[in-house]
Amino acid sequence: MHHSALLNVMIAAARKTARALKRDFGEIENLQVSLKGPANFVSAADRRAEETLYAELSRARPNYGFLGEEGGMRDGADKSHRWIVDPLDGTTNFLHSIPHFAISVALEREGTIVAGLVYNPVSEDLFVAEKGKGAFLNDHRIRVAGRKVLADAVIACGLPHIGRGDAELGHKETGAVQRQVAGLRRFGAAALDLAWVAAGRLDAYWERDIKPWDMGAGIILVREAGGYISDCYGGEEMFANGTITAGNETIGKELLKVLKTA
């Protein structure tokens, strides 16, 4: 499939990063047995992955800014563009040898996300989208699921980690949603949850206390797959308030109603 020059840059950077991440993931199993576990090893892998992405993306687009989970914001001369990058979304999964994690790369232009990529190096699912050009999984066009009834829907969520976020609210929301849907899931990688909504595998998804690098690429994937994105209050301040919901428009709006009752 013919991709734009921009997507080619993003794909090349992600594939290079993925090769090292996959090797590191192979090491994790050996480290599980040690008492301390592989936590330090994983943070080093995470940092290395971000440096590879930074090197590759800034070689191709030297003036763009770069916001990464590990290194924070690195300003570029071109103030209208910034990459928003999570080198390893789903770190806890990775740490526990669960093969559900992803590299997430978004490009923002003048405050609007114009391209996104989410890549799972283990399954080799590569999701890409560009503004106005649709969303693709391994070069096949994807669209959000068409289900319109909450009772038929499979919905994924995030849950706060120990000491982070509002656990009580999380319990209320999952309880309220669980009572109305066919299935509730918690997979542990926001970028993939959003990509799976875009691909119609999940009918909807919501999460609180997440960061721009967790959701930047996923937002454009869902939108380009014909889906509906909002924050958990029905607005569009996902980055500002760190909350997100995604689905088709009907299920997305139904989900917002249920969250409101929690």
Q: Which is nearer to ligand LIP, 89 or 130 (CB)?
A: 89
CB of 255 to ligand LIP, least distance (A): 17
CB of 62 to ligand LIP, least distance (A): 26
Q: Which is nearer to ligand LIP, 151 or 229 (CB)?
A: 229
**What contacts 199, CB < 8 A, 6 or more positions away?**
127, 137, 142, 225
Q: Which is nearer to ligand LIP, 170 or 227 (CB)?
A: 170
Q: Structure tokens of 107?
A: 């490009």
CB of 133 to ligand LIP, least distance (A): 25
CB of 202 to ligand LIP, least distance (A): 13
Q: Which is nearer to ligand LIP, 74 or 211 (CB)?
A: 211
CB of 174 to ligand LIP, least distance (A): 13
Q: Which is nearer to ligand LIP, 134 or 160 (CB)?
A: 160
CB of 21 to ligand LIP, least distance (A): 12
CA 132 to each of CA 116, 119, 154, 221, 225: distance values in angstroms, whole numbers, following the listed order: 12, 21, 28, 11, 10
Angle at 179 between CA 175 and CA 180, to 5 degrees: 125
Q: Which is nearer to ligand LIP, 203 or 214 (CB)?
A: 214
CB of 165 to ligand LIP, least distance (A): 8
Q: Which is nearer to ligand LIP, 63 or 123 (CB)?
A: 123
| 159: number of Cβ within 10 Å | 15
Residue numbers of the site for ligand LIP (CB under 6 A)? 69, 86, 88-91, 158, 161, 188-190, 207, 210, 214
